[in-house]
Amino acid sequence: MTMSTELILIGVIVVALIFTLTNGLHDASSVVATFISCGAANPIQATCLAAIFGFIGAVIGGSAVANTVSAIVTMTTDAALLNVLLAGMIGAVIWNVVTWKLGLPSSSTHALVGGVVGAVLVSRGANYILWGWSDLWGANHLLVGITKIVAALILSPLMGFVVAFLLQTVSNILLRNANFTINRWIKNIQWLIAALLAYSHGTNDTQKIVGILSLALAAANYPFGQIAPVWISALGGGVMFVGTMLGGWSIMKTIGRGIYAIRPIHSLNSQLASGGSIILATILGAPVSTTHVVVGSIAGVGSAEEFRMVNWNIGKEIIIAWCITIPAAAIVAAMVYYILGYIW
């Protein structure tokens, strides 16, 4: 490994960890938003719980999602790939910081995919991205590559919406004669469900960066580069822990209060729907956005309770942010790649 290759590899690792930090600021805010807004926990308690169980999920959550992410780039794993990964990660970080400052709950997964795709397109062309269209329409009808990621990003919030809607509908029937004091029990149960949601966030989101770092290590001919060492997951989980503790309070306010007036039962059902959906996606190796799923589940419980009281205007703003994230991150990453070309 040459000195220049080592420097670029270090750059990729540092930027990847910065991305993980911004991911913690973004999506971890979604994990605890309803938990805090319904009064089940204060911000310090909620973020500590999310950080601890998110770290556990990052370390022991497996590698199925990491394998999916690392497979979207079909370039030769040599030093040239490092420049592409570095540009892609920088593009994703810049977009995450912008949306975090604006308080927009956009998707870090969208930003990551957009950044990597944009960098690959300008460096090698569309043929070096595993789109997955031919596999979808081929004999095996498999979901792979970009097709699998996009399908997961679209279907996961819909699944969160439907499951949350059904849970809230059943809850309305079962608890129609319940005493108000039951809210105390619901708030206590939420500590377990919030831990589950935080764990699922750690298993899915940290694996995305593990996939990118595995590609980088392989490109630099680092020992065991083809197999993600445990230290990558632990390092990513640690940085995610810090990002969670810092908290994205503006995003938390948007999700916890801006979509629907959350009460304890709404928070419980939203967390159940979100955690279950994300764990299923992780088992299938599908990278999803925790923010997407949580927002979908909140809209689901609100629709089941009182459809007209859901603030669909904020939903529209969020959807717009989601739609522009991939192309915006791709454009930024492409510009960064050209700038890096003048440096190296």
Q: Where are the domains of the chain?
A: 3-343
Give the residue-averaged pLDDT of 208-227.
Answer: 74
Cβ partners under 8 Å of residue 54, min gap 6: 24, 28, 31, 198, 199, 201, 202, 206, 237, 240, 241, 244
DSSP string computed for 260-299: S---HHHHHHHHHHHHHHHHHHHHTT----HHHHHHHHHH
The two three-digit tokens of residue 113, written as one number: 């995919």
pTM for this entry: 0.84
pLDDT tens readout for residues 80-124 = 888 899 999 999 889 888 877 776 666 778 888 899 999 999 998
Rounded to an integer, what distance in angstroms lies between the CA atom of residue 275 and that of residue 203?
11
Q: Which of 207, 254, 274, 259 is nearest to 235 (CA)?
A: 207
* Interval 238-266: pLDDT, tens: 888 787 777 655 556 666 567 777 889 99
Tokens 């999310």 locate to 50
